A and B are shown apart, each in its own frame.
Chain A
Amino acid sequence: TQLLEQSPQFLSIQEGENLTVYCNSSSVFSSLQWYRQEPGEGPVLLVTVVTGGEVKKLKRLTFQFGDARKDSSLHITAAQPGDTGLYLCAGATLWSGGANNLFFGTGTRLTVIP
C-alpha cells in the first residue's frame, strides 16, 4: 500500500517553464524527503523538511511541507533539461518504540525538452 500519492505522474515541459509536483497523504509524517532518481540508479536525496509549513530552497527548487505534515510540494523554476528524472517524495513515520520507517510516493517522471 502506497501511503503517499504524487501528482502528476508524468510531466513533460519545455525548457524555461515552471512546474509544481505534489505529494499527498492522509498520514502524518515526522519528516518528509524528496529524492531524484536517474534511470538505472538509486534515488539521490535532495532535501528533508521537518516542521509543518517549512519552506526550503535549493537553487531553482523550492520545497514546502504542509502545515499538518501530511503533504508537500516541489516547485521548479525555469526548468532545464538536467532536471529530467523521476522525483520521489518519502515520508518518515515515527513509531512509539523510536524506530521509524520510510515510505515512498508513487513518483513523478519529469521530462524537460530543450
Chain B
Amino acid sequence: DTGVSQDPRHKITKRGQNVTFRCDPISEHNRLYWYRQTLGQGPEFLTYFQNEAQLEKSRLLSDRFSAERPKGSFSTLEIQRTEQGDSAMYLCASSLTQVHTEAFFGQGTRLTVV
C-alpha cells in the first residue's frame, strides 16, 4: 500500500476560479477526512466521510466548498469562486472505522490564490 495520496501537490489559481483536489485513501480505510491548515497552525477540520456518506461538516465549510466521495473510495474537494483567504494547505487523511481513530495523512495540496 502506498498510503494516502493527494493530487495535485501544489495549485496556483486566480481569484474567482474554481479548483478541485483529489484524495486517494489507504484502500481498506472507510473513513476519510479533509482538513485545512494555514502556516504555523494546527489542521482545522472541514469534513469527513464514512464510506460514501458525508457524516459531518464544519462551519468553516462555506457554500463555496463541496466534498464528495461517490463510491466510498477516492474523494474530491471543490472550492468555487476562490478567494485569497482560501490559500492554505489542504490535507486529507483516512482511517479504519474504530473507536480510537488513528488517521494517516497525505502530503497535502498547497493552494495559493493570487
Listed in ascending order, the chain A residues whose CB lies under 8 Å from chain B are: 2, 4, 6, 30-31, 33, 35, 40-45, 48, 50, 86, 88, 90, 92, 94, 99-107, 109
Q: List B contacts of A6 (CB < 8 A).
A: 42
- Closest beta carbon of chain A to B5's beta carbon, Å: 10
If the complex has contacts A42-B91, A44-B105, A102-B33, are A107 and B42 also in contact, measured as CB distance less than 8 A?
yes
Partner of A42, one of B41, B45, B56, B108: B108
- Closest beta carbon of chain A to B17's beta carbon, Å: 23
Number of interface residues of B (CB under 8 A): 27
Partner of A43, one of B43, B50, B95: B43
Partner of B110, one of A31, A40, A104: A40
- Whether the Cβ atoms of B42 and A92 lie closer than 8 Å is no
If the complex has contacts A41-B108, A42-B93, are A31 and B45 also in contact, measured as CB distance less than 8 A?
no
How many residue pairs link A and B with beta carbons under 8 A? The number is: 71
- Whether the Cβ atoms of A104 and B102 lie closer than 8 Å is no
Question: Which residue on A lies nearest to B33, using beta carbons?
Answer: A102
> Would you list 14 pairs from A and B whose C-beta atoms are within 8 A, ordered by A residue?
A31-B100, A33-B102, A40-B107, A42-B105, A43-B91, A44-B105, A48-B100, A48-B102, A88-B42, A100-B101, A101-B101, A102-B93, A103-B45, A107-B40
| Cα(A17)–Cα(B105), bound, Å | 30
- Whether the Cβ atoms of A102 and B103 lie closer than 8 Å is yes
Please tell me if B48 contacts chain A, counting CB pairs below 8 Å. yes
- Whether the Cβ atoms of B101 and A42 lie closer than 8 Å is no
If the complex has contacts A41-B108, A42-B105, A42-B107, are A92 and B100 also in contact, measured as CB distance less than 8 A?
yes
Q: List B contacts of A42 (CB < 8 A).
A: 4, 91, 93, 105-108
